Amino acid sequence: MSDSFIDHLPSHEREKIRKKLRSPEAYERLRDKVKGPEDLEREMDRSEKLAELHFALESEPQVRQSLHVAMEQDLKEKGVDDVLERAPHSPDATHALEEGKFSIAVEAHPDTHEDALVILAEGNVQEKIPVKQSFSEKYASRFASKHQ
């Protein structure tokens, strides 16, 4: 029989922990973390498209070039703030993005650590700037429909 840390606590402390774990707030937080089948299916579909896009970006130069052109056009038409989740930290990076001096990759999102489409501005500091979810899905869908 294995002893857990709870077994070594006084009974009133154990009861406080149990009560906290049974609270409606704890249950609600746990319930929010659980994903339903529809959510899982959407997430798997998105991950699959990003994986295909990542493979194509690494293996097919024409895909990288066409995606770069489409993203450059959206950056010029809609602006950096509408396409990217956050503005670049340095003015040099913003200037490089507006001039089309950037590379595109599928890498881990800096905050969520899930795969995401990111832009890397050329220059001394290469920060990963995630593309907004709507644009990321648009690019991944456009790629998936062309290359399946």
Nearest partner of 103 among 129, 82, 136, judged by Cα: 129
Q: What is the pLDDT of residue 124?
A: 66
Query: Residue 115 belongs to what H/E stretch?
Result: strand 115-121
- Which DSSP symbol is given to 109? -
Q: Specify the amino acid at residue 118.
A: V
Whether 14 is in a domain gets the answer no
Whether 17 is in a domain gets the answer no
The token duo for 120 is 């890397």
Q: What is the pLDDT of residue 10?
A: 86
- In tens, the pLDDT along 89-138 reads 777 877 888 888 888 888 888 777 788 888 888 876 667 888 888 888 88
Question: Do residues 85 and 129 touch, judged by C-beta distance below 8 A?
Answer: yes
**Hunting for tokens 């052109």 — which residue is that?**
69
Whether 108 is in a domain gets the answer yes
Whether 20 is in a domain gets the answer no
- DSSP-H helix ranges across the chain: 11-22, 24-33, 37-59, 61-78, 80-83, 91-98, 133-146
Whether 54 is in a domain gets the answer yes
Quote the number of domains for the chain: 1
Domain span at 46? 37-146
> Band of the pLDDT at 145, cuts 50, 70, 90?
low
Q: Which phi and psi angles does 20 have, rounded to 5°? A: -65, -40
- In tens, the pLDDT along 19-78 reads 777 778 777 877 777 778 888 898 888 888 888 989 888 888 888 899 999 988 988 888
More confident residue, 5 or 133: 133
